[in-house]
Amino acid sequence: MKRNQRQQKSRSGWIIQLYTIFLLVCLTITANAHVGSSGVIVQKKAGKYQLLIQVNPPDVVPGTAKVTVFVEQGRVSSLGARPIYFNSGDKGAPTHDVLVPVGTNQYEADVWLMSSGSSSVEISIDGPDGKQQVVVPVAAVATALREMPAGTGWGLAAMGLLLIVMLITIIGASNADGVVVPGQSAVAGLRRRRVTGMGVGLVVVALMLTGWRSWWNSTAEAYRTEQLYRALPINASVRVADAQRQLTIQVDTTGFANDWQKRRNLSYVLPDHGKLMHLFLIRTPNLDAFAHLHPNRRDTLHYDAALPALPGGKYLLYADVVYRNGFAETLTDTVDVPSLKISAEAAAAVKPSDPDDSWLVTEPMGVKAASVNVPHLDNDMVVCGKPGASTKLEDGSSIVWMDKKSQVLEAGKLYNLKFAVADAQGKAAPLEPYLGMGGHAAILRSDGTVYIHLHPVGTYSMAAEGSLVGRISDTARTFQYPDAVKFRDSIDTYIAKLKTLPEAEKNKLLMAGIPAMNHTMKTNNMVEFPYAFPRAGHYRIWVQVKRNGRVLTGVFDTQVNEPLL
């Protein structure tokens, strides 16, 4: 009996050790499974501090967001970061994690995002120049499914099989530790009880594994259908009426009733830079026609815009919207634009739906002789009238890409893209605000898989920031949405009023809600955009500025390679 007990204890010890190894392996897998993306980049002043902040959210949730802060101005003693969700607000947020220095004026930390939804990362700053807070809007959404490495899977399967065999053996041995039935030999009785116990253990373990597999499959399916982010589907179409092409965007509400992932608070769309929607159209595959439009909201599900004098063809469509909870989303589709044969006078007479709409038809991305229909870069650094380091604008001025580090850039590296405008005589040409900002930019990978709408303050939405900052200042744990119809009508009234204001008054109103940057210049002729290209490839950049009441668009191409190890 004592011998059997010692064997049982020995087997139990082995199981505990193997289970501990199993947990360590699983935790290691979890820790290494999350990879960053281009994330959110913010350049902002807060009191005497100026910071450049990069947040790379996880592509699976729960997961850790990597927060990097570059202190460009100010004396900092400590930095902290914490996630704050719109739904829970400040009261439901955890304490700050400390950012550790990793270089000269560079700090980093990993911040856990535990659930999906509209969120932000609050950066707390402390030092001789005072205490400040900066809020960075972040969309905490799962965008990827992770596969377990094959080697790890086989290793875990082998350990699991060993555990099962040992567990069944222990159950059989435990069942044999008893009184022998009278009339039977001791050996035969022990053997029979051991076999019976092992059979019962096998059935129990099989039932447990079946239940576990069912739970695992249902959990994986719930993640795939409920947590994995899917953009709001839209249907874009163009119709011709009275020699005018009208673009219509209709929100696809199919499945709203039984699929919460597709639902959106469509009545609670916020204006960003005074527009409910920023729409970009780029003709594919040569990216030679571009439009930045601002459709009007006809009703909750429909947006309309008159198309400018764009050539016919297939266009990639990217529409940026921001919701009341601070969640910013890009809606995508492709649309066929029919060619319209009208006179030059009729084309010139076409009025855009919004006075801030702009467009440009330029040369396509070049084609190598041995690579038909494959976009690539021109090798010239300066080619007048073509995408390069300098391009001519429609008013005769030029826009120049300043401080470009090299002809080929690196993926994942943070750049400050600087562009300066010079008049026909080569002198600095002052710029006017465009939608309350010094300029706008759109960046697109040649295959359309990477797109970003850039601002001088970063890659985030100022409307989202305002919404999240307001929510943080609210002491309530839960947010109560206002009446949907009244909210939508008030926003439409505000948009209509903006269109009637003089340009200077409108820009003053818009700039009041946008953080100012310290880009000191003798002549305001330069615009800067912080950005990190997320992937290698060929990119086209459209830079938009405003002079003499006219929106001007410059085009630049660049190649991005993976960083050298």
Residue carrying the six token digits 């809606």: 331
CA dist., res. 395 & res. 64, Å (int): 48
Q: Are 150 and 96 in contact (CB under 8 A)?
A: no
For the entire predicted model, the pTM comes to 0.80
DSSP state letter for 442: E
Instruction: Tell me the C-alpha to C-alpha distance, in Å, between residue 466 and each of 271, 323, 324, 469.
Output: 11, 11, 10, 5
**Residue 398: other Cβ atoms inside 10 A:** 19
DSSP string covering 510-528, please? HHTTS-------SSS-EEE
**Residue 536: other Cβ atoms inside 10 A:** 17
**What tokens appear for 178 in the block?**
């008893």
Question: Quick one: pLDDT at residue 215?
Answer: 87
Q: Which residues of the chain have pLDDT under 70?
A: 1-38, 177-187, 189, 257-262, 344, 346-348, 366-388, 515-523, 565
**Residue 410: other Cβ atoms inside 10 A:** 17
Question: Quick one: pLDDT at residue 507?
Answer: 87
CA dist., res. 428 & res. 397, Å (int): 10
Residues in the chain: 565
CA dist., res. 62 & res. 40, Å (int): 18
CA dist., res. 451 & res. 531, Å (int): 12
Instruction: Tell me the C-alpha to C-alpha distance, in Å, between residue 131 and each of 49, 78, 89, 205, 562.
Output: 10, 10, 21, 58, 39
Question: Quick one: pLDDT at residue 348?
Answer: 67
Helix 503-511 × helix 484-500 angle, to 10° = 130
CA dist., res. 258 & res. 425, Å (int): 63
Question: Quick one: pLDDT at residue 387?
Answer: 44
Q: Are 421 and 429 in contact (CB under 8 A)?
A: yes
The 3 state secondary structure assigned to 145-183 is CCCCCHHHHHHHHHHHHHHHHHHHHHHHHHHHCCCCCCC
Q: What sign for the dihedral angle of Cα 333, 339, 344, 345?
A: negative
Q: What is the pLDDT of residues 188-237, one digit of tens each?
A: 767 777 778 788 878 888 888 888 888 888 888 877 777 788 888 999 99
